Amino acid sequence: MANRYIDITVPLDPGVLVWSGDEPVVFEHFTGMHDGAPYRVTRLHIGSHTGTHVGAPHHFGASGTTVNVLSPAALIGPAEVHDFRGVQAINTREMENRDVGELPRVLIRTDNSGWIRRGPMPDLPSYLTENAAAYLIGKAVSLVGFDGISIDHPEKAGAHLLLLRAGVIIVECLDLSSVSAGRYELICLPLRIAEGDGAPARALLRRGEYTSLASG
């Protein structure tokens, strides 16, 4: 059944939003002939943290795990989507109110999903506080997915540092705009970039035994 899957990947194209200071995405198209048949090849100019992407512990620490050796077991399995719309600074109290951390993979839907594909990005988007990151670490969460370009306040990197140094995988720039709060199976596979600090990924949610009846 095709509708069992929800694609939560932001399409990667030259219009995708990038972090301030990062170079924009560029596609260069080439055409030619080979053995009498026309062909087309596209050269991609992108950063490792562009679009929907996985951030490996190596992103903030030279000794951290690189993206090419991340275990698929951490990237595939039961996950819970939590709805934080209307909350700008997501802190421990907000986490506790929603019983976050019962499953090892936590996906956070915020007001960011309303602009993540094309913008405009607000001056202060929703973000995760450092105490919320510490709370997730205490819950032994293995992966945190977020619907913003960064999980952090635009002027800080506290949540990033805490989570990645604890070995927690971060997935950013998810499109959760059509996803209801509840339980799913997450399938998130980044490009296997050697010694990579991160990599673009395709992320899907599968409805099934983990699905909640919560409305969205």
Catalytic residues: 59
Contact 158, 185 (CB under 8 A): no
Alpha-carbon distances of 104 from 55, 143, 186, 201, rounded to whole Å = 17, 7, 11, 19
Return all residues near 63 (Cβ < 8 A) that are at least 6 apart: none
Sequence-ordered list of residues with C-beta below 8 angstroms from that of 70, at least 6 positions apart, any chain? 54, 56, 169, 190
Q: Pinpoint the alpha helices (H) of the chain.
A: 72-75, 92-97, 130-138, 158-165
CA dihedral angle for residue 60, residue 61, residue 64, residue 65, rounded to 10 degrees: 40
Q: Is 41 exposed, middle or buried (0-12, 13-18, 19+ CB in 10 A)?
A: exposed
